[in-house]
Amino acid sequence: VSAARATGDLAGRRVVVSAGGTREPLDPVRFLGNRSSGKQGIAIAEAARARGAEVTLVAANLEVPRPEGCDVREVSTALELQRELVDAAAGADVVVMAAAVADYRPAAVSEQKIKKDASDSGLTLELVRNPDILAGLGAAPHDGTLLVGFAAETESDEERLLELGRGKRRAKGADLLVVNRVGWSEGFAADDNRVVVIGPDDAVVTQAHGSKASVADAILDVVVSKLNPAAH
């Protein structure tokens, strides 16, 4: 048990975490999805709970057990996630957008299973943009709510990776942006993670690597340091 957990430095705070990956249906049996397991988001929800917060977890297609002691709201698509998240975020002290949200969804969902044609040689799907949920929260009034975004990037160059993170933090109006390198074997289902947290002035506030639980506590250490004591 870390010192932070023992002192309950998130007691009395309401923390909303999105985790997992959205799925966008094509027809009754198929969807467009991504490889996010939800483990890092769950680790953050669990750590926030352990530090005394009241936690709402907006869970998108989790492949792992739901944490104890959290208000869990199950969603599947980006639009469902948006609805639950915006609802839960009202008046929250912290919102952590750890979920991998589909940038696009099929323009139409077929009522029947899509059948292939004996003569076709391929299929073109028409996709439309999903709303950017974090950018929407960042653009709306959110006094007293600290917004934490994630950026999953495949960029291997460290400086360029940080620049992508800085650009995303600004574009979305987030207070903190957690940059996470992903690849075919890094990040997603892994039990260990390595992240860099970028703060409001574009500086690196902290770096952490290790278990997703220890990374979660390192991220929450930064969150606690940025929370407004007067609002408490």
Q: Which of 63, 71, 87, 103 binds Ca ion (CB under 5 A)?
A: 103
Q: Which of residues 2-61 bind ligand CTP (CB under 6 A)?
A: none
DSSP 229: G
Structure tokens belonging to residue 188: 């997603």
Cβ 12 to ligand CTP, closest distance in Å? 25
Annotated ligand binding at 116? The verdict is no
Q: Which of 32, 178, 173, 171 is CA-nearest to residue 103?
A: 32
Q: Report if residue 71 touches Ca ion, rule: CB under 5 A.
A: no
Closer residue to ligand CTP (CB): 70 or 78? 78
Q: Report if residue 158 touches Ca ion, rule: CB under 5 A.
A: no
Distance in angstroms (rounded) separating the CA atoms of residues 136 and 100: 16
Give the dihedral of Cα atoms 164, 165, 169, 174; nearest 10 deg: 150
Cβ 52 to Ca ion, closest distance in Å? 32
| 228 classed as catalytic | no
Q: Report if residue 130 touches ligand CTP, rule: CB under 6 A.
A: yes
Distance in angstroms (rounded) separating the CA atoms of residues 232 and 225: 13
Q: Report if residue 152 touches ligand CTP, rule: CB under 6 A.
A: yes
The catalytically annotated residue of 34, 61, 130, 193 is 34
Q: How far is CA 179 from CA 86, 104, 156, in A?
A: 23, 22, 12
Interface with ligand CTP (CB under 6 A): 78, 97, 99, 101, 103, 130, 132-134, 149-152, 168, 172
